[in-house]
């Protein structure tokens, strides 16, 4: 997708190997560390209540704890 819009004002594809590695690293962080607990949390606090089910507070607490360990904001602000 980034290649599709590469003629816009802002560079969406990093051609430098170091920058590509940093982006690949954060994609892995999101895929492996952020997404699983975020998905569980969304299911418990959005999907279940919208279907008349009570969220499992143990699962919510565990997912929140895991998400608090994934510190993305500080790294994202560097870019």
Could you list the pLDDT tens digit for every one of the 79 residues in the chain? 565 665 666 666 677 788 888 888 878 877 888 899 999 999 999 999 999 999 999 999 999 998 887 766 666 666 5
Burial bucket for residue 44 (CB in 10 Å: 0-12, 13-18, 19+): buried
Q: Rounded to an integer, what is the distance from CA 31 to the centroid of its chain?
A: 7
Of the candidates 18, 21, 41, the one whose C-alpha atom is nearest the C-alpha of residue 29 is: 21
pTM: 0.62
- Sign of torsion, CA 28 32 33 37? positive
Residue 16 to residue 21: CA distance in whole angstroms? 9
């Amino acid at each position: 997708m980034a290649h599709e819009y590469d003629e816009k004002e802002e560079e969406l594809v990093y051609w430098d190997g170091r920058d590509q590695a940093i982006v690949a690293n954060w994609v892995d962080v999101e895929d492996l560390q952020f997404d699983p607990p975020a998905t569980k949390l969304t299911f418990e606090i959005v999907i279940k209540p919208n279907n008349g089910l009570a969220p499992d507070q143990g699962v919510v607490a565990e997912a929140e704890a895991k998400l608090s360990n994934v510190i993305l904001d500080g790294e994202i602000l560097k870019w």
